A and B are shown apart, each in its own frame.
Chain A
């Protein structure tokens, strides 16, 4: 075996590039479906947390705290083996989606809760005093104001989730990191450790970096637009 970064090692990666692409595809698929689940859970539990009803708040709190204060690896193993031993194993992909979705949902719920709570109480009261019901209040008045508080951190949660697909490795997933690992340890393919992990990391970076950059740019532009709206009206006042 020649050096860690030998041309031979890099060449091997090129030959087996399909493995990495497959891993990427699996990671994105898992992440996308898990994202939908996480969004649904996040919205439900975020709304419960801001409902003002003690019981509903408690339910949301329990979900968020239990999920956020135990390792995602443990949740994944638990779900995988619990389901497997119950005789209804849905397979690694579905397990991964469920586990990631449930895990990420807890963070989504917090982001949504914080966004809704960032809107002053007077806005809720004004809406209620006009006769808006819960849905109208949220739709016309609260969500439009909280969305700019919600979206940037939500994008970061999504980035984290994409990275967390690598945890599927523990239950033998087919995501990017798992496939990279089997590649470097495989009997025929093994050996190109450093290049393989660099490629794997680069792929993650290429996906995640634009997302987080986009998130922060979005936030900045929303803030700017707000300032502009403020300034454009100001001179008229004089």
Chain B
């Protein structure tokens, strides 16, 4: 059964048709990377998966359940986490509090359990010593690793990444990618919107190329980077990889 399923999803922003009849399935544990030029609807696609954008029409299924305006809070709480381009850590809380908020308030964990969990994931992202500082004191790369740890603390089956390295300084991109590569070894379903082709090649089970609100091509990384069918993909890859 598909962990995520988009069925004929359309999205309009005013007159702008951003997603055109998008159909996409992601199976459990799959690492899906979505690439494509800016404005192609990649971000909107993953944001439909937790209803940060509500599709104008079509259906979204998460872990077998249709996502609706009514049940979105519960389904999102139970099944998905998200890592944002701008990190979006809570600036009024320490790193530890950022990590324990959802587990204690939403997932019925005790403070002790939540903190153990937090330290466990802080260790994984290599920032155990930053538990008591405020996020604004950290570099972009560190903040994004904290944001990943926060997403992990929800222990959801799905983590959505919306251009997680696009706002980072070039020298901190790799530290975030390394954490994501480590994560990809787990059985978490990952959907990653990115421009990092090296990451896509190394980690993806499947790569999806989007342009103009449509999925143009989808396939394994080998297929994609060595022998793409569509001219649109060739043109895009030609520009990115030199």
Contact = CB atoms under 8 A, between A and B. Distances in A.
Interface of A: 120, 122-123, 125-126, 128-133, 136, 140-141, 144-145, 229-230, 232-234, 236-237
Contacts of B76: 128-131
A128 B106 contact: no
B139 interface: yes
Contact of A125 (B52, B74, B105): B52
Main secondary structure of the interface of A (DSSP, over half): helix
B4 to A, nearest CB: 15
Contacts of B106: 130-132, 136
Interface of B: 50-52, 73-74, 76-78, 80-82, 84, 86, 88-92, 101-102, 105-106, 129-130, 133-134, 136-139, 150, 154, 160
A49 to B, nearest CB: 21
A129 B137 contact: no
Given A128-B52, A237-B138, A123 B133 contact: no
A234 B150 CA distance: 21
B88 A237 contact: no
A131 B105 CA distance: 10
A131 B73 contact: yes
Chain A to chain B: the 8 pairs with minimum beta-carbon distance, closest first: A131-B77, A233-B137, A126-B88, A129-B82, A233-B133, A122-B88, A130-B102, A131-B76
A140 B150 CA distance: 16
A229 B88 contact: no
Contacts of B136: 229-230, 233
Given A123-B88, A136-B105, A130 B137 contact: no
A136 B138 CA distance: 26
